[in-house]
Structure formats: C-alpha cells, structure tokens
Chain A
Amino acid sequence: MTAKSRNLSIAKRGLLSFETIMWAFTRLSALGMYALIVFGLIGALVMGARNNMNFADVMRWAFIPNVTHVENTALPDTTPWAAPLWKLTASALLIIAVGHGVHGLVVIADDYISTARGRQIVRIISGVMILSMIGIGLYLIWTS
C-alpha cells in the first residue's frame, strides 16, 4: 500500500485549531512532567533519600518537589530539599500540571455540555481556575 499523499496545508487540515493544539499540548506536557518527575527522583536519591524515606515518600516528593512533602520523613536536615532549584522545579511542574489538568477537566465537561453557551462558560471557569491554582501553588511553593 502506498502512503497517502498530503496535499492539504497544515492549516487546512485543521491542525492549527485550538483543540488540536491542546491535544498536542496534553501529550507533550505529559512528557515534560515525566522529565521533571525523573529529575526530582534522581535529586531525591542524590540527597540521600535511600536511608531516610520509603518508596511512597520519594514518589510524593517527585510528583511535587516541595519541602513540605518530606517534612514527616526521617530526614535529619531538610535544608537541601528547600533549595531554589527544587522550588523552580516544583513551579515548572505546577504550571504544566495545572494547564494539563484544567484542560482535561474541560475535555470531560465537553462530553456532557454541548451547547455553545455552556462550553463558553466552561472555558471562562477554566481560565479562572488555571490562574488561581497557579497563583496559590506558586505562593505555597515559594513561602514553604
């Protein structure tokens, strides 16, 4: 079977519509989060997680490398865990995760809300949610 020729431009194939861009964003942000989680995992092992934490504690740290996530472990000193590097990593993870997650909620809502007006309201709520969750999350990361 020969490959189908693609005579349509990217724009005409609809690949530049908002929904298609968000489809790609959902997949690429998943890979981005994996990279940041693996980075947090390696960092935890370098900082001596093996002797003072269990597997679940390490995972909790990797999902959001915020120092409050390891304060209940047997770590003798959590100072390195509160370094700016980890606050930056956690901030990046938070921003990507909120975008990914809130768009996911919009996708689910669209399965149940089909009117144009309803979908517009969902998008306004999602915008407010993205901004407020990123704001609250950044505040928590940088003040903890």
Chain B
Amino acid sequence: MGLNRNVSLMTALRYKGQGPFLTYILHRIGGLGMAVFISIHLLASFLGGSGGRFVNNIYENWVFQIFIFFCILFHAINGLRITILDLFPKLILYHRQAIMIEWVAFIAVYGFSVFAIIRTALGG
C-alpha cells in the first residue's frame, strides 16, 4: 500500500528534518507550483479570449508575481545545489554549508526581485 506509512499526520508535521528537509519540501512546492501555474499560463495564452485574458491578468498581478518568483528562484537555486553535490559527491560532506550558501544566494536574488516587483506595483 502506497499511502500506509504507519506515521500519523501530527508526527509527520513534527518531523525534525531541519534545514535539509525544509529545502526538500520547498523544492517540491516550487516545482509543483511551476508545473501547475506555468501549464495554466500556457493554456490561457493559447486559448486567449476573455477567459485567457482574465487568467493572465491574475498572473501579472504583483502578489502572484511574488509567489511564482519564489517558486522559480528557490527551485532553480536549490536545484543548482543538488546538481553540484550530485555531480561532485565528495562535496556531500559539506551539504549543510552548501545550504547556507544557497540561502544567501536565494535571499539576495529573490530580495532584489521582490523589491523590483513591489516598486513597479507602487508606480515605479
């Protein structure tokens, strides 16, 4: 049985995976978010009309932009860390340090993006 893990929901939520687990779950959320919303964006642009326009207007809203930029940038930067560690397995010893570097890079790039999005939303 796929879903029977003998672990209650509360135990799962209290799982002490710490930093590496957080990046794992955010990587999934980011990947799923991109897959779902970019697919809808493609379909909306393809179908066009008032429905497509309505969906793409939501996508151009600054709140949505902040969300989708989180998904893309976290997935991209975390993905680069995974790729580097997997291609150079000796570095796995330092994976916690790699995660710290990753957060610095993410906060810098994402911070700039959010700043630009909000400043434009407020009228440049």
Contact = CB atoms under 8 A, between A and B. Distances in A.
Interface of A: 27, 30-31, 33-34, 37, 54-57, 59, 63, 68, 72, 101-102, 104-105, 108, 111-115, 118, 129, 133, 136-137, 139-140
A104 B35 contact: yes
B42 A59 contact: no
B20 interface: no
A27 B32 contact: no
Contact of B45 (A68, A72, A118): A68
A118 B3 CA distance: 13
B53 to A, nearest CB: 13
Given A55-B115, A101-B31, A104-B35, 20 more contacts: A27-B83, A30-B80, A30-B82, A34-B80, A54-B117, A54-B119, A56-B113, A56-B116, A56-B120, A57-B116, A102-B35, A105-B35, A111-B2, A114-B1, A114-B2, A136-B42, A136-B46, A139-B46, A140-B42, A140-B46
Contact of A115 (B2, B76, B113): B2
Interface in B32-88: 32, 34-35, 38-39, 42-43, 45-46, 60, 65, 69, 72-73, 76, 79-80, 82-83, 86-87
Interface in B1-24: 1-3
Given A30-B80, A68-B45, A112 B120 contact: no
B95 interface: no
Contacts of B120: 54, 56
A102 B120 CA distance: 33
Interface residues of B, number: 33
Contact of B83 (A30, A68, A139): A30
A136 B39 CA distance: 10
Contacts of A57: 116
B28 interface: yes
A33 to B, nearest CB: 8
B112 interface: yes
B58 to A, nearest CB: 15
A102 B86 CA distance: 21
